[in-house]
Amino acid sequence: MKTRRLLTLVLTLALALALAIPAQAADLTYDVPGGKLYFDAATGTITRSDETVTEAVIPSEIYGVPVTAIGDYAFNQRSDLASVTIPDTVTTIGRQAFGGCRSLTQVVLPDSVTSLDQGVFSGCSGLTSVTLSKNLTSIPRETFQTCSSLTGVTLPEGITTIGRDAFAGSGITSLTLPSSVTTLDGSALSNCKSLTSLYIPDSVTYLGEWAISYCTSLTSVRLPNGIKTLPMRLFEDCISLEDCVIPDGVTQMRDVFRFCTGLKTVTIPASVTFIESGTFYGCDSLTDVYYGGTALQWSQIELGGLNDGLDQATIHFAQPVAGFTDVTTYDYYADAVQWAVNQGVTTGTGSNTFSPANTVTRAEAVTFLWRAAGSPAPASMTSPFTDVTDTSAYYYKAVLWAAEQGITSGVGGGAFGLSNPLAYDQIFTFLCRFAGESADGDDWSAAAVNWAQSSGLTDDLSFSAAASCPRADVVYCLWKQLA
């Protein structure tokens, strides 16, 4: 009898606990407009939703359990879903979680989200606005595929990979890739019919096949320095692209411009040794090829068949600039070097060399600026710097003049830093102050860079503010500002 009563009591308590603590149930529900959300308390995941859900305001917790994930296919093909609110407890969003939600127009991913799976918003044809978490490191494959109403999206700094088909068939008209991106995978921007311009930063070291193909409105593209191979079908059917500059260092061109019927001019560096069959197939408008090497070097390129576009084009070979064997007419700094020689800013590093990649010291940079300004005499011949004492040195008057003009105050401790390598932000600062603008305070570097960018000095330059500025870019900046 006692045993039976004890068993009854235990069963009653167990039932009461089960009713009182639903947070341990495997599939809890949460009411939202139009239906329910289903929640797995064991994993903190929204697993699915009713097909009739119209507004998904996801809570930060359900029955006291934090919501940390939106699972695979949780809202997939919910054609009536018009809005979703994601709490800042969510860290991951699963595969195709919102795929095919055609009525969804705006999404904000909180900064708690660090991971997206494949195709999270694929097929969201009504999506017009997306705010991405600043803590994402990749845009996985098919994330925004066929989001035809999405005309633009801001990618946060920290993104390293744009996955295969990530924006394929989307409505983007322009896209800025942050300098953290290293990979633009295959077909990542394929079939973006409204994309007109694309700037790919030098941080990108891998371009996948078909990455920018079938972008029929594309008129302007900037390829990254540092890549060695242009992949297969990179620009296939980009019929509005009229000119393209291949970066120096590229050695192979793999069937790149097939059916680019509007292509008129292309610049090819001397580093190219192989042009695959079909690279210029269908390029019936190609008239001019600007090659960075000699006619002999061009004849040594391994050239495949089906490159009829090259047969009708005029090949222009590079010529030396200002008598320098290491500066040619197709270098972006060619005009700057010619101007610098004409103005007496520099005569090069030897009888026929300019040494464009050589590091520049602060003494040399100030002297270049001083000569470009007409070599004005300083008001006083007394040096304010402890390391500027040789009155016969080529830089002496230049440093004194620059100090008097407020162009430089040295590197601290009474020193000018004659032999210190010149950084980009320093040449920008010199020119900013020379122009009568301010680049002072704790954030002088950022102020100088912002001024240089707004003044057009950084056009065609790839730089990091604190990196050493080579001779080519010092002269280029002087020319942009003073010529």
Would residue 88 count as lying in a domain?
yes
- 316 part of a folded domain: no
Decide: residue 230, CB within 10 A, 0-12 exposed, 13-18 middle, 19+ buried: buried
Q: What string of H, E and C letters represents the secondary structure of the chain?
A: CHHHHHHHHHHHHHHHHHHHCHHHCCCEEEEECCEEEEEECCCCEEEEECCCCCEEECCCEECCEECCEECCCCCCCCCCCCEEECCCCCCEECCCCCCCCCCCCEEECCCCCCEECCCCCCCCCCCCEEECCCCCCEECCCCCCCCCCCCCCCCCCCCCEECCCCCCCCCCCEEECCCCCCEECCCCCCCCCCCCEEECCCCCCEECCCCCCCCCCCCEEECCCCCCEECCCCCCCCCCCCEEECCCCCCEECCCCCCCCCCCEEEECCCCCEECCCCCCCCCCCCEEEECCCHHHHHCCEECCCCHHHHHCEEEECCEECCEEEEECCCCCHHHHHHHHHCCCCCCCCCCCCCCCCECEHHHHHHHHHHHCCCCCCCCCCCCCCCCCCCCCCCHHHHHHHHHCCCCCCCECCECCCCCECEHHHHHHHHHHHCCCCCCCCCHHHHHHHHHHHCCCCCCCCCCCCCECEHHHHHHHHHHHHC
Residue 152 included in any domain: no
Question: Strand 274-275 and strand 302-303: pairing?
Answer: parallel
Q: How far apart are CA 70 and CA 67, in angstroms?
A: 8
What pLDDT is attached to residue 26? 54
User: Does residue 168 sit within a domain?
Assistant: no
| Nearest C-alpha neighbor of 217 from the set 201, 196, 191, 236 | 196
- What's the pLDDT at 11? 42
Structural domain includes residue 205: no
Rounded distance, CA 159 to CA 138, Å? Answer: 5
In a domain? residue 400: yes
- Residue 95: which CATH number? 3.80.10.10
Instruction: Tell me whether residue 411 is in a domain.
Output: yes
Domain that holds residue 385: 331-482
pTM over 0.85: no
Q: Going residue by residue through the chain, which has 483 residues, state the pLDDT in tens, using 9 for 90 and above.
A: 444 554 444 444 444 444 444 434 457 999 999 999 999 999 999 999 999 999 999 999 999 999 999 999 999 999 999 999 999 999 999 999 999 999 999 999 999 999 999 999 999 999 999 999 999 999 999 999 999 999 999 999 999 999 999 999 999 998 889 889 999 999 999 999 999 999 898 889 999 999 999 999 999 998 988 899 999 999 999 999 999 999 888 999 999 999 999 999 999 999 999 999 999 999 999 999 999 988 999 999 999 999 988 989 999 999 999 999 899 998 889 999 999 999 999 999 988 999 999 999 999 999 999 999 999 999 999 999 999 999 999 999 999 999 999 999 999 999 999 999 999 999 999 999 999 988 877 789 999 999 999 998 988 787 888 889 999 999 999 999 998
- 139 contacts 117 by C-beta, under 8 angstroms: no
Contact 269, 245 (CB under 8 A): no
- For the chain, the domain total comes to 2
Indicate the residue among 125, 157, 178 that finishes a domain: 125
Residue 371 lies in a domain: yes
Tokens 């190219």 — which residue? 272
Give the span between the Cα atoms of 101 and 319, in whole angstroms. 57
Task: Report the candidate in 482, 369, 380, 375 with the shortest Cα–Cα distance to residue 426.
Answer: 369
Amino acid at 302: E
Task: Count other Cβ atoms within 10 Å, centred on residue 12.
Answer: 10
Cα gap 347→168, rounded to integer Å: 50
